Amino acid sequence: MSSSNKVGIVAENATDLHTLRAVVTEAGLEVVSAIEFYFYRQGVPLNKDVEAWILNLDIEKLEQSCPEKVDDLIDAVPGMLILCEGGSPPTPVEPEYNSWKRRLLSKIQDIAGTINLESHGAGLPNRVWVLAGSIGGPESIKLFLDNLPEGLDVAFVYANHLQADFQGTLAQSVAKNAHYPAHVAAHGQVIKSGEVFVISPEHTVSLQPNGTFLVGLDKWYGQYQPNLDHVIASVAKTFGHTGGVIIFSGMCDDGAASCRMMKQNGGKVWAQQPDTCVSSAMPDAAIATGCVDKIGTPQQLAAALAAEVAS
């Protein structure tokens, strides 16, 4: 989550503010303003640095006791506003706390994406391609990217089985001497053409229909992280009709099932030539589905993608 996503909180007392701040901070948002409702001064502008406000107020009760103050507060909110359930949230020791927390997290999970979309000047990329790999994948994908001409109107989602904390190193390695900068995909980040977004193995990541990344709080399911089928499927849903997936060197059959989904959504499915792989299990499994349109070395696949974009 980018630290630029700044949030304000309004609640009825200091205890509620403390509880809300803890959950919002856990979700990766930065709380830059916390206001007790009864100390809110009408007519005083709210913090201009706040990009979204979360109000946890019993609106019906407050409308009876101080309606003008409630209306003034809501009118003063300059941007995005999220109204919570109202009333004091449960404390962490109460049995209903976990269900309340999950409901609140589901509400604030999309805040970063909405904020970033509003400030995102360029349109979404016409093409999104998934680069999937495991053992031997980093070397093959690096070779593929190094052989791409610059300026292609393509965004890349790079998912490779990794150990935790290695995604940053992988992004640096991929971007070195290449035309396409690489970043670890952050929650709420807008996907951009001409860049590579590396998927973290720590928490689930999906590409939303609005072009923003959703980094969940849950761990990846399955034996390997990240789960390649999950990543490919999330891209196929929205960008499959103009994009695709390339299955590079790797063990197991992760990604093969979602190749069918990519194909069904109009996307291309390519695979690295098995005898050029450190481990050919992943390309072999993809080829066995009957969905693969093209097989080649990383250099050949780079040339084919350049030709595909040009046509």
Residue 224: which of 281, 162, 277 has the closest Cα?
Answer: 162
pLDDT tens column, 218-270? 889 888 999 999 999 999 998 999 999 999 999 999 999 999 999 999 999 99
Residue 158: which of 126, 181, 187 has the closest Cα?
Answer: 181
CATH number (3.10.450.750, 3.40.50.180, 3.90.180.10, 3.90.1150.10) of 128-310 reads: 3.40.50.180
Quote the pTM value. 0.76
Beta-bridge partner residues of 132: 159, 247
> Is the model's pLDDT at 154 over the cut of 50?
yes
In the CATH scheme, what is the code of domain 6-119? 3.40.50
Residue 52 near residue 78, CB atoms below 8 Å? no
pLDDT tens column, 24-33? 888 778 899 9
Residue predicted with more confidence, 3 or 172: 172
Amino acid making up residue 304: A
Which regions of the chain carry the CATH code 3.40.50.180?
Answer: 128-310
Residue 180 near residue 197, CB atoms below 8 Å? no
267 vs 158: CA distance, rounded Å: 16
